[in-house]
Amino acid sequence: MREFDYIIIGGGCAGLSLAYELEIHEKFKNKTLAIIEPRNDYIRDKTWSFWKVAAHNFEDCVKHSWSNFSVNIPNQTKYVKCDNSPYQSIDSGLFYEKIINTLKKNTNINFFKSINEISTKNSFIFNSVTNVSDSKNDLWQHFSGIEIETNKDVFDNQIFNLMDFDCEQRNSVHFFYTLPFSTKNALIETTWISDLNHPSNQDYSIQLEDYIKNKLKIKNYEIKFKETGAIPLFHPQNIKKINQMEIGTAGGMTRLSTGYTFMNIQSQSKYIRENFENIQKVNNFNINSKYKFLDNIFLKVLKKNSEKMPEIFFKMFNCSPSTVINFLSNKSNIYEDFSIILKMPKRVFLKELF
């Protein structure tokens, strides 16, 4: 059986981001890599969006970028500027194509459908596959989105809507998210934060149709693309193994209060590349523990006070745009953390803290 110096299990966002980061820094000139990925075709399956708080390798895969966004609760809208950290959307189809075309040029890199096709005995493994077992207490961000096209100019593509809470909450936390890529084309998502045992919230198509027709007042549209997913708002428990490192969602790269993962995956890939020659000895890259601590309190509050959450999210945006964006993107300093904490309702948060 063939042996490789390195193996990446799972050629999704984390596996491919890491392979690309290592390849462009010439780490596979004299070393071999196997990528294990069961899918047959790489086609667009997701849209990854984030505030660009650091440089990344995929600027040419950005579908659209915005310098303004809005947040809504019933009868109130907040407009926020984000020119210093624009919000970007990456088309996963372009991302996969760019990476696969680059990796294919190096004969030291090979793809396999199953780990059983190769020997793992003498390899260092980067693993992005996890069996997330769902317990009743766990929260998920689950959502479905459709990209629609209209024949008239109906969207303002200079501004996106991050969260529109002016909708049915059904004793959970629910908002719509609209990313207008052009005046005739937008991705509209219905997003819930709840456990996954709420099948009644998963009538996504009905929710989307109702929102588009009755709230956005768009009667005629064509659906161009659909994405549905669930992001665990908890981290998998990993047992440290010699010669293995967990990456991506499996490696705890999801920000628990928001589900944002893409930029953390890029930071983790960069960290691994910087420590590649010494990878057996270094600790894995982690999201700063202050965010895990604060996010866990936030999620406890959310679980018990879902009806208060639209206002709590809304109030967070009373801070300066850079403070909120830095906080949500794990780049905030202590003063920014305190500004956010001070905007939260003290009694409910203190109750969960103690």
Ligand X SMILES: Cc1cc2nc3c(=O)[nH]c(=O)nc-3n(C[C@H](O)[C@H](O)[C@H](O)COP(=O)(O)OP(=O)(O)OC[C@H]3O[C@@H](n4cnc5c(N)ncnc54)[C@H](O)[C@@H]3O)c2cc1C
Q: Which residue ranges make up the site for ligand X (CB under 6 A)?
A: 9-15, 36-39, 46-50, 128-129, 227, 229, 231, 248-250, 259-262, 265
Residue in the shown chain whose Cβ atom is closest to ligand X: 12
Nearer to ligand X, 11 or 310 (CB): 11
Nearer to ligand X, 127 or 185 (CB): 127
Q: How far is the CB of 259 from ligand X (least distance, A)?
A: 6
Nearer to ligand X, 10 or 321 (CB): 10
Q: How far is the CB of 335 from ligand X (least distance, A)?
A: 25
Nearer to ligand X, 193 or 231 (CB): 231
Round to whole Å and give the CA distance between 143 and 140. Answer: 9
Q: How far is the CB of 226 from ligand X (least distance, A)?
A: 10
What's the Rg (C-alpha) of the chain?
Answer: 21
CA distances from 41 to 12, 38, 44, 284 (A): 12, 9, 10, 30
Starting at the edge strand that comes first in sequence, how are the strands of the sheet with 160-164 ordered?
76-81, 68-73, 160-164, 173-182, 185-194, 140-149, 222-232
Q: Residue 283 CB: number of other CB atoms within 10 A?
A: 9
Starting at the edge strand that comes first in sequence, how are the strands of the sheet with 109-112 ordered?
109-112, 33-36, 6-9, 124-127, 244-246
Nearer to ligand X, 28 or 160 (CB): 160
Round to whole Å and give the CA distance between 95 and 289. Answer: 30
Q: How far is the CB of 245 from ligand X (least distance, A)?
A: 13
Q: How far is the CB of 305 from ligand X (least distance, A)?
A: 25
Nearer to ligand X, 292 or 343 (CB): 292
Nearer to ligand X, 253 or 349 (CB): 253
Residue 194 structure tokens: 């709840």
Q: How far is the CB of 247 from ligand X (least distance, A)?
A: 7
Round to whole Å and give the CA distance between 328 and 339. Answer: 13
Residue 174 structure tokens: 């629910």
Nearer to ligand X, 186 or 339 (CB): 186
Round to whole Å and give the CA distance between 6 and 161. Answer: 42
Q: How far is the CB of 219 from ligand X (least distance, A)?
A: 27
Q: How far is the CB of 151 from ligand X (least distance, A)?
A: 27
In terms of DSSP H, where are the helices of the chain? 13-24, 92-104, 204-210, 262-274, 289-304, 309-316, 321-328, 334-343, 346-353
Q: Residue 269 CB: number of other CB atoms within 10 A?
A: 27
Round to whole Å and give the CA distance between 193 and 139. Answer: 7
